[in-house]
Amino acid sequence: MNTILADENIPLVQDAFSNFGKVRTISGRKLTSADLDDTKILLVRSVTQVDAKLLADSSVSFVGTATIGFDHVDLDYLQQQKIGFANAPGSNATAASEYVISTLLVLAEQKNFKLRDKTVGIIGCGNVGSRVLEKLTTLDIQCIVHDPLIQNPNYVDLNTVLTADIITLHVPLIQNGNYPTYHLVNSNFLANLKDNAILINTSRGKVVDEVALLKTSMTHPDITIVLDVWKNEPKINKLLLQQVFLATPHIAGYSLDGKIRGTEMLYSKICEYFQYEPIWRPNILPAPITKLEFSSTIDDDVAIHTAVMACYDIRRDDATLRQINANFDSLRKNYPLRREFNQLTIQLPSSKTILANRLKGLGFNIA
């Protein structure tokens, strides 16, 4: 019988893979080579480093990561050992983009500015960045994009994107090559930001030089920092946490929909790899809030803010991370139910066509 070892934070993993064999779950952060006894299929998330140290002399023939990124997996080693591999590109991209929208609306409210008066610089326009761009464009917010890996005549260079009022990072972690992103945010990067700039990182913690960021935050308190990812997770820099305006425990993409989408993608790819007939379909309960109704007198910006916060308010996650005894991994493991915007249907009068188009562009259903 096949044995599947899976990160305990992958949802519905027992339900999805029980037909393949015996499914065991484990803390992905604590997983070691000693846990791989008789394991044929290994399913992880980003907290597990998958390399020769972990897999040498094991029986693993397939590795799947229920994440967009795969910088935690040594693909060269897997290829050398003829070990199959799959990730889940785009699975949590919608959730991560919704996190950015919630963040920007909260910042606009708390710092008393209008988003339409700001320019947003998007660094990295792949699965997540492209969705952020679409949503912000829907809201008539001016955006400029930098992504040297994508050929687009409308994209700008790094120095130009840093002229934006708000910078949001959506890059993979790349250590070497022509366009490395390790410590992309360094002292030089930070020195080129505008006064009163806002910096948001939901990509990878090591994209930011936290020493440089901490120094900048102390010498330039006018810069607003939002961090979802941290360099030394789960042991995050507590001094930096105090300087960050909004802080969360690497949960930007943690919608239930996104996580289950990741499970579905791995299931499909493993069925294909091992030539199994796919039979599993996830059974998900309805969202806690499924309908909102606005009258013709509602202000459009108020309606958008209300709808977004009904689905996801970043301030709740910020508050839990700042609790005295907050445990980074425990907050991730016990993350509360969060559904994506498309689980909410909004009833609007026919006269609210502009609002309807904006809400639809954000991902909501309109009735």
In angstroms, what is the C-alpha Rg of the chain?
21
State yes or no: is 204 an active-site residue: yes
State yes or no: is 250 an active-site residue: yes
Q: How far is residue 254's CA from residue 205's CA, in Å, rounded to a whole number?
A: 16
Selecting among 45, 170, 210, 233, the annotated active-site residue is 233
For the record, the structure tokens of 178 come out as 């022509």
Could you tell me if residue 12 is left (phi over 0), alpha (psi between -120 and 50 degrees) or otherwise beta? Answer: left
> Which helix (H) or strand (E) segment is 95 a member of?
helix 93-110
Selecting among 45, 131, 250, 332, the annotated active-site residue is 250
Return phi, psi of residue 225, to 5°: -115, 135
Q: How far is residue 50's CA from residue 65's CA, in Å, rounded to a whole number?
A: 10
Angle 264-266-270 from CA coordinates, rounded to 5°? 120
Selecting among 45, 204, 338, 339, the annotated active-site residue is 204
H-assigned helices in 195-349: 210-219, 238-243, 256-274, 300-311, 314-321, 328-333
CB 89 within 8 A of CB 70: no
For the record, the structure tokens of 141 come out as 């917010």
For the record, the structure tokens of 273 come out as 């790899």
CB 1 within 8 A of CB 21: yes
> Which helix (H) or strand (E) segment is 119 a member of?
strand 119-123
Q: How far is residue 31's CA from residue 283's CA, in Å, rounded to a whole number?
A: 28
Return phi, psi of residue 28, to 5°: -60, -30
DSSP tag of 218: H
Give the relative orientation of helices 353-362 and 300-311 as an angle to the nearest 10 degrees: 30
State yes or no: is 277 an active-site residue: no
- Strand partners for 167: 121, 199
Burial per residue of 266-290, b for 16 or more beta-carbon CB atoms within 10 angstroms, e otherwise: bbebbbeeeeeeeebeeeeeebeee
Helix (H, G, I), strand (E, B) or coil at 157: coil
The residues annotated with a catalytic role in the active site are: 204, 233, 250
